[in-house]
């Protein structure tokens, strides 16, 4: 699994090879200059032979050279970090863009069946964690590897025997890092999953805090959050425990190596096989040689966390997209509004029947109302008409063509849809109205707002049509938000309409005025109207009465009342007394 994740990460890195090569080059150059410093330090030590025996001329030259090298090294390290930052954050940008674009291609069924907070956590938090691990990897891994190779070569050039002792002892660090890495990956993956669950729960509570307080559920909400938080704490503590034992363990190995080099070098210096300056250089190299092992161990731990987060992101990105439009799919343009449902059956969950064998023919310009008890399939019919879901069997045709043979975009732009659940984006009032017609003039926007009776309340806002509203309408009332959604459709004037409880949040007086506006809007347009208040659909040409996924009655208002059946009972129940 980790190999496949790493392979995907490398495919993103491949786009920025120039930064990768520059980073490696600067790392090698930086390490080479850094490793040259101990040579100069040893030479400086050898310039001090004893009291009154200091070669100040040579010493000052060496110190001057060291100063220049240190400045150049600092500049090179800055360039290396710049390359690493550019590469890392561009990779993160690409992954996040691809994940967001993937979300636009996922079927609505996936969005409906997965926690929105968890999806947000994958695209935001997990990608952030991944970038932190990746940046640390580039910054420390390259320099660490080059430092190990470079110091080893320098030590061999000074004294091969002591160098071999150092090499024999250092693999212990790798064994420790490998032990920790296997356990850290699983703990990090669990942390990411619980963090996603926590984000989802917080998102849910923010969106429904009024309901929580209205029903006095604050203590229960706190209890559940504490339970999730406790599980996250346990997973975090276990992950941190395994990662934290890396540093002291590798430092112990480093100290052991340093002690062996110091004792062995001292004996060689006494025997005249090494100068004091060379011993000083060797001790410095031994310290620099073992230090990267400690850093790389930390990088490995951080990388496990990054890969665990990357796995969750890639898992999301690898979900099956919605079935693409067929090649040479029809572009639906200016349809007259003929819609046919032929033996349509559909269910959200296999073996749980919902809609079965529906037959319906809607002529251009007809107003079709869909009524029935909650859960009978009214909104599901709308989802199928808009092709948010595909039918399990049968077909839905517009102008005689199966909607699966035409592009989704052209089908959906042919409908104007106003739902009970309003959706407004962050931006100005005008931005929200012109979503379906971005090139609309201000005069057209105002005319649409007047037609929907939204103009009066918009003018009372601080900046009118330029008033900025927050996510989902901000402080606007539910009725005002719904008026803006109706205005959006009024502006587009599509050939077909879908009104799903479109006036449910509007007061009765305004509703009467909007019904008149809708009557004008629906004139000559095929319209599908879903409503619980049956008074709003009496003027429909055809009323479909649904129950348990089937159309049990069909006709106009007077005809259905005369039948004295299910519709008559529903209608009369709303006007008892």
C-alpha–C-alpha distance, residues 99 and 107, integer Å = 14
* pLDDT tens sequence across 96-128: 888 888 888 888 888 877 777 788 888 888 888
* pLDDT tens sequence across 538-571: 778 888 888 887 888 888 888 888 888 888 888 7
pLDDT band at 51 (very low <50, low <70, confident <90, very high): low
C-alpha–C-alpha distance, residues 451 and 434, integer Å = 15
Query: Which DSSP category does 360 fall into?
Result: E
pLDDT band at 50 (very low <50, low <70, confident <90, very high): low
pLDDT band at 577 (very low <50, low <70, confident <90, very high): very low
Share of the chain above pLDDT 70, in %: 88
| pLDDT of amino acid 442 | 92
C-alpha–C-alpha distance, residues 454 and 462, integer Å = 15
* pLDDT tens sequence across 500-516: 876 666 677 767 767 77
What pTM does this model have? Answer: 0.65
Q: Domains for the chain: give ranges and CATH numbers.
A: 2-317 (1.20.1560.10), 415-493 (3.40.50.300)
Please give the full DSSP string across 179-227, using - where no structure is assigned: HHHHHHHHHHHHHHHHHHHHHHHHHHHHHTHHHHHHTT-HHHHHHHHHH
* pLDDT tens sequence across 463-484: 899 998 877 667 788 778 888 8
Number of neighbouring beta carbons within 10 Å of residue 354 = 17
Please give the full DSSP string across 129-190, using - where no structure is assigned: HHHHHHHHIIIIIHHHHHHHHHHHHHHHHH-HHHHHHHHHHTHHHHHHHHHHHHHHHHHHHH
**Long-range contacts from 75-78, C-beta under 8 angstroms, 24+ separation:** 76/26, 76/29, 76/30, 76/33, 77/26, 77/30
- Compare 438 and 113 and report the one with higher pLDDT: 438
C-alpha–C-alpha distance, residues 513 and 510, integer Å = 5
pLDDT at position 24 over 50: yes
| pLDDT of amino acid 576 | 56
pLDDT band at 533 (very low <50, low <70, confident <90, very high): low
Residues 357, 345: contact at Cβ < 8 Å?
A: yes
Query: Mean pLDDT, to the nearest integer, of 85-100?
Result: 86
Number of neighbouring beta carbons within 10 Å of residue 21 = 11
**Average pLDDT of the residues of the chain:** 81
Place of tokens 């008559």: 568
Query: Mean pLDDT, to the nearest integer, of 293-297?
Result: 66
* pLDDT tens sequence across 376-422: 778 888 889 988 888 989 999 999 899 999 998 888 888 888 877 77
| pLDDT of amino acid 340 | 92
CA dihedral (559, 560, 562, 568) in degrees, to 10, reads: -160
């Amino acid at each position: 699994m980790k190999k496949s994740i790493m392979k995907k990460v490398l495919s993103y890195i491949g786009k920025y090879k120039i930064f990768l090569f520059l980073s490696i080059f600067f790392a090698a150059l930086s390490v080479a200059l850094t490793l040259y410093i101990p040579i100069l330090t040893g030479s400086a030590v050898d310039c001090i032979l004893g009291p009154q025996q200091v070669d100040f001329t040579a010493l000052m030259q060496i110190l001057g050279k060291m100063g220049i090298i240190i400045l150049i090294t600092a500049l090179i390290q800055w360039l290396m970090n710049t390359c690493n930052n550019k590469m890392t954050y561009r990779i993160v940008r690409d992954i996040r863009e691809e994940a967001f674009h993937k979300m636009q291609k996922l079927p609505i069924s996936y969005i409906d069946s997965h926690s929105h907070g968890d999806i947000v956590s994958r695209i935001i938090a997990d990608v952030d964690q991944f970038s932190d691990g990746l940046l640390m990897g580039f910054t420390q891994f390259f320099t660490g590897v080059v430092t190990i190779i470079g110091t080893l070569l320098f030590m061999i050039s000074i004294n091969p025997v002591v160098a071999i002792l150092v090499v024999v002892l250092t693999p212990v660090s790798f064994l420790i890092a490998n032990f920790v890495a296997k356990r850290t990956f699983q703990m990090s993956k669990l942390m990411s999953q619980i963090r996603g669950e926590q984000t989802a729960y917080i998102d849910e509570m923010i969106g429904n805090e009024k309901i929580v307080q209205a029903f006095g559920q604050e203590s229960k909400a706190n209890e559940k959050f504490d339970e999730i938080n406790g599980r996250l704490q346990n997973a975090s503590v276990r992950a941190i425990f395994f990662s934290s034992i890396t540093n002291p363990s590798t430092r112990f190995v480093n100290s052991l190596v340093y002690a062996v080099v110091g004792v062995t070098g001292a004996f060689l210096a006494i025997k005249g096989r090494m100068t004091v300056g060379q011993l000083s250089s060797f001790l410095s190299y031994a310290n620099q040689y073992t230090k990267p092992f400690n850093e790389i161990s930390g990088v490995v731990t951080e990388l496990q966390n990054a890969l665990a987060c990357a796995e969750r992101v890639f898992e999301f990105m690898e979900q099956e997209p919605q079935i693409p439009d067929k090649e040479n799919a029809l572009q639906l343009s200016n349809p007259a509004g003929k819609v046919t449902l032929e033996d349509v059956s559909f269910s959200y969950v296999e073996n749980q029947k919902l809609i079965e064998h529906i037959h319906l023919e809607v002529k251009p310009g007809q107003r079709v109302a869909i009524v029935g008890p909650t859960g009978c399939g009214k909104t599901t019919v709308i989802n199928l008409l808009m092709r948010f879901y595909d039918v399990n069997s049968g077909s839905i045709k517009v102008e005689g063509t199966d909607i699966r043979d035409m592009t989704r975009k052209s089908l959906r732009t042919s409908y104007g849809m106003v739902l009970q659940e309003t959706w407004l984006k962050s931006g100005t009032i005008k931005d929200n109205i012109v979503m379906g017609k971005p090139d609309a003039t201000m005069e057209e926007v105002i005319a649409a707002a007047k037609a929907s009776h939204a103009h009066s309340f918009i003018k009372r806002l601080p900046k009118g049509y330029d008033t900025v509203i927050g996510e989902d309408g901000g402080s606007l009332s539910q009725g005002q938000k719904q008026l803006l959604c109706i205005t959006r459709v009024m502006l587009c004037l599509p050939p077909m309409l879908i009104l799903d409880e479109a006036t449910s949040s509007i007061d009765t007086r305004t509703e009467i005025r909007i019904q008149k506006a809708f009557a004008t809007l629906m004139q000559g347009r095929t319209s599908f109207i879903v409503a619980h208040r049956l008074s709003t659909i009496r003027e429909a040409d055809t009323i479909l009465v649904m129950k348990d996924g089937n159309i049990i009655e069909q006709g106009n208002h007077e005809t259905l009342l005369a039948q004295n059946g299910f519709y008559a009972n529903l209608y009369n129940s709303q006007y008892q007394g």
